[in-house]
Structure formats: C-alpha cells, structure tokens
C-alpha cells in the first residue's frame, strides 16, 4: 500500500483483519499532513457534494478576496484546467441529486465502523457523538443552510434549528455571537492525532509492516500486472497494490498512463491549548471555519486553497481563521503562540466531490483509494473496509459504482 494517511491505515486495518499480509510505504515519518491537521468530523451531514450549483458563483466571488475561505491560484497547469472543466460540468442539480444518497450511505457506514472500532477497544481513541452545529449570523446563511437541511431531512437525518439562547444552555462557558444554528444530530467528532498514533501502534504490534521515509518513485508493470514498486531505497515486490497517497495519487498514476482528475486543496489548523469553554463542534457558516473541541485542546480549521502541492503557510488566511473564531466566540483570546504553531495539510480533491474507490480495467491488481476531499477523515474506515472487500473478493457492503475511479 502506498500512503499511511487515514485511508491507508484504515485499509491496512481491514486487510489485516481479513488475513492479508500488509506493507504500508510512506515517504514521510507519519505524523503530519491532512490526516493529522483535520477537524476530526464524521460527516453524515455533508450530503451535498462539493461540486454543486452555486459553488461557481461563490468561488468566483471569494477568489478576489485574499482572506477568503476559497482560493484557486491562477496558473498554467493542464491538470488544473482539466479538473476545472470537469468540476464546472459537475456543478449541476442532477449531479447533486444523484450523489446525495451515495455520500450519505458511505458516511453512515464509516461512522458505524468508527463506533465498532471504539467498542472493540483494540486501540484507544477519542470519539464523541454530539452532532454538529451549523452556526449562522445572517439571514442569507440561514436560508442557504435551510435548503441543505431540507434535503438532509428528506434523506432521514435529524436536524433541529436552535436559537442562540438554546445553544448557550448547551454550552454555557462559550457564548456565541450568532443568530442561531442548525444542529445535525447525525455527526460525531474525534481527535485525529490520537486515532492515527494509536492505530499505527496497534497495526505495528499486529505485524503490519511499515516502510517509512521511502518515496515511491516508480511502479513496475508487466502487461496488465503491477509487479513491484521502486522507492528511493529499495524495490518491493507485491501481489496487490493499493494507492492511498492522498493529494499525490495523481502523480503516481500518471506513471501508469492514467490521468486522474485530482487537485490538492490546502487547509490550515490552529490549536488552542488553553480552556475555551467550547464543548460543541461547530461550522461557522459565513467564514467556513470548523471548530472542534478535541481531547485537551480546541481546534479551528479552514480554507480551501487550490495552489498545487506545497505547504506554504499564507498568514492572511491563518489570521482570517483566528479572526472568525474571535468574531463568533467574543470571549476567546488567541495567544501569539497559536499562530506560530499553525499547520496545514492537503485535501485530495476529486472533480465531483466523491472519492475514488475501486479498480482500473487496465490493471488486474491495482486499487485506488483517494480523492476524499473534505470527507477523508470521516470516510477512512468505510474506504478501508470497501477496499479490503474488493481485494478479498467479497460482496462489497456498498455499491462501488458511484466511486469508480474511471468516471
């Protein structure tokens, strides 16, 4: 398996459970990147794919504001251009209608699997099922979210509208300056670093092999069979190859003559280590900032910056996240050290807002598990289980058709 992010580790977990001998290869040491800096949400609420009507107009408006939550760096890049064209084509009502059930089903499956893992107790992690607040200040944001709520309710999710006073009763030590919020009871939240660290230790103890600080440079094939991979340090033979390399997956596939439409979407996180009084996870709708009460600290995360594969920190966007936090929680003070310890990660963004999970017809022993965008944390376990079922030639728990890599 190439990639030891949440998708790679969860896939290793389920493959190992099925009795496969698994090796995870990663170019890093594990401990940084999207799977560590994310907001930790499990998101049955996110039924609307990222590619949806309205996104184009919004994205265009935001692009001219240097502290906005969404940014595409203009550049001459054929892959970005192809991704953009396919993204625009996917921003339709028909696409939203077609995708919602599949997105919900895989999110619900994944949440069940997280809860199963927690109940099993093979490794320790933090997971709370307190739902998610979508908090708004303006009538415009309330109206926009009400449309999503109506779709979510049609699909069977429980969503309640709460007043500012009701929220204050639930979270008395962190008064919010908002008009109200929609409360999606379906959602849950966790602390990514704890899950990743303890799952890694558990897999190592169970005999899964980890080859770290080895970048895969070449994938060697014979006809339709992948035979081995060449890293910076060694050649490794294999029976099955899973590419779970997040935002880097397109680069790896290109060497096989496969063009995957995928872009890196950078996001930032700030950790506040002092008590904040915040006990409810919330998305601050107007600023698109995610707030999560994690184990021992509060995390603020946001922005979607399509500027290629790089980890450059844009201070303006980081400041915008902190300002939004103070604007919605006026009691908060954010010390200087929070800004100096800011970190970022790259979301792997497919063109239509759905992940890529499945095989390619050209190769009999290649599986792709990537492109989870804003839902990769949520969908780690479900992806791992579906990949394991595919490799073990079992009936998949969910249809893989909506996630077919060659769509």
Ligand X SMILES: Cc1cc2nc3c(=O)[nH]c(=O)nc-3n(C[C@H](O)[C@H](O)[C@H](O)COP(=O)(O)OP(=O)(O)OC[C@H]3O[C@@H](n4cnc5c(N)ncnc54)[C@H](O)[C@@H]3O)c2cc1C
Per-residue contact flags (x/-) with ligand X for residues 355 to 374, judged by CB under 6 A: ---------------x-xxx
User: In the set 186, 298, 307, 378, which binds ligand X (CB under 6 A)?
Assistant: 378
Distant-in-sequence, close-in-space partners of 168: CB < 8 Å, separation ≥ 6: 175, 176
Q: Give, as ranges, the residues between 273 and 292 that touch ligand X (CB under 6 A).
A: 290
Q: For residue 317, state whether it binds ligand X (rule: CB under 6 A).
A: no
Q: What is the largest CA-CA distance in the chain?
A: 65
Candidates 22-30, 47-55, 308-316, 359-367: pick the segment binding ligand X (CB under 6 A).
Answer: 22-30
Q: For residue 3, state whether it binds ligand X (rule: CB under 6 A).
A: yes
For residue 98, the tally of other CB atoms under 10 A from its CB is 14
Q: For residue 248, state whether it binds ligand X (rule: CB under 6 A).
A: yes
**Helical pair 6-17 and 192-205, crossing angle rounded to 10 deg:** 40
Q: Where do the DSSP E strands lie in 91-214?
A: 127-128, 132-136, 159-163, 180-184, 188-190, 209-211
Q: For residue 345, state whether it binds ligand X (rule: CB under 6 A).
A: yes
Half-sphere exposure of 46 (CA within 13 A, CB side): 22
> Residue 28 has what DSSP assignment?
S
Q: For residue 8, state whether it binds ligand X (rule: CB under 6 A).
A: yes
CA 385 vs CA 26, 38, 75, 204, 328: distances in Å: 20, 21, 38, 19, 38
Candidates 29-37, 133-141, 161-169, 173-181: pick the segment binding ligand X (CB under 6 A).
Answer: 29-37
Q: For residue 242, state whether it binds ligand X (rule: CB under 6 A).
A: no
Candidates 34-42, 64-72, 200-208, 396-404: pick the segment binding ligand X (CB under 6 A).
Answer: 34-42
Please, are residues 235 and 229 in contact by the beta-carbon 8 Å criterion?
yes
Q: For residue 244, state whether it binds ligand X (rule: CB under 6 A).
A: yes
Rounded to whole angstroms, the Cα distance separating 366 from 354 reads 19
Q: For residue 348, state whether it binds ligand X (rule: CB under 6 A).
A: yes
User: In the set 49, 131, 301, 353, which binds ligand X (CB under 6 A)?
Assistant: 301
User: In the set 23, 28, 79, 86, which binds ligand X (CB under 6 A)?
Assistant: 28
Half-sphere exposure of 262 (CA within 13 A, CB side): 30
- Positions in the binding site for ligand X (CB under 6 A): 2-8, 25-28, 33-35, 37-41, 43, 215-216, 244-248, 252, 267-269, 290, 301, 345, 347-348, 370, 372-378
């Amino acid at each position: 398996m190439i990639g030891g992010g949440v998708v790679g580790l969860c896939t290793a977990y389920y493959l190992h459970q099925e009795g496969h001998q698994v090796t995870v290869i990663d170019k890093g040491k594990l401990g940084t990147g999207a799977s560590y800096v994310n907001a930790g949400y499990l998101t049955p609420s996110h039924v609307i794919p990222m590619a949806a009507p309205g996104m184009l107009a919004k994205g265009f408006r935001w692009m001219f504001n240097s502290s906005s939550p969404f940014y595409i760096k203009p550049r001459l890049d054929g892959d970005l251009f192809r991704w953009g064209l396919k993204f625009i084509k996917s921003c339709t009502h028909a696409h939203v209608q077609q995708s919602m059930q599949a997105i919900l089903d895989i999110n619900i499956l994944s949440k069940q699997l997280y809860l199963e893992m927690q109940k099993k107790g093979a490794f320790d992690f933090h997971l709370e099922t307190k739902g998610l607040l979508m908090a708004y200040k303006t009538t415009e944001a309330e109206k926009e979210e009400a449309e999503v709520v109506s779709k979510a309710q049609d699909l069977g999710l429980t969503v309640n509208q709460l007043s500012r006073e009701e929220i204050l009763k639930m979270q008395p030590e962190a008064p919010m300056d908002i008009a109200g919020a929609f409360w999606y009871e379906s959602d849950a939240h966790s602390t990514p670093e704890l899950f990743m660290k303890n799952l890694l230790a558990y897999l190592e103890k169970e005999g899964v092999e980890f080859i770290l600080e080895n970048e895969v440079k070449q994938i060697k094939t014979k006809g339709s069979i992948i035979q081995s991979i060449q890293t910076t340090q060694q050649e490794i033979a294999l029976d099955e190859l899973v590419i779970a390399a997040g935002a880097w997956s397109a680069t790896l596939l290109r060497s096989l003559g496969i063009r995957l439409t995928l872009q890196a979407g950078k996001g930032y996180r700030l950790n506040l280590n002092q008590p904040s009084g915040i006990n409810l996870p919330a998305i601050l709708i107007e600023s698109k900032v995610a707030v999560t009460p994690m184990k021992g600290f509060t995390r603020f995360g946001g922005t979607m910056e399509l500027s290629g594969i790089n980890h450059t920190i844009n201070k303006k966007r980081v400041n915008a996240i902190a300002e939004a936090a103070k604007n919605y929680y006026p009691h908060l003070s954010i010390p200087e050290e929070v800004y100096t310890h800011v970190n970022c990660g790259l979301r792997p963004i497919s063109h239509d807002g759905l992940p890529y999970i499945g095989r390619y017809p050209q190769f009999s022993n290649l599986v792709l598990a990537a492109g989870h965008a804003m839902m990769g944390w949520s969908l780690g376990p479900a992806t791992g289980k579906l990949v394991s079922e595919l490799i073990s030639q079992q009936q998949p728990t969910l249809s893989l058709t909506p996630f077919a890599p060659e769509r």
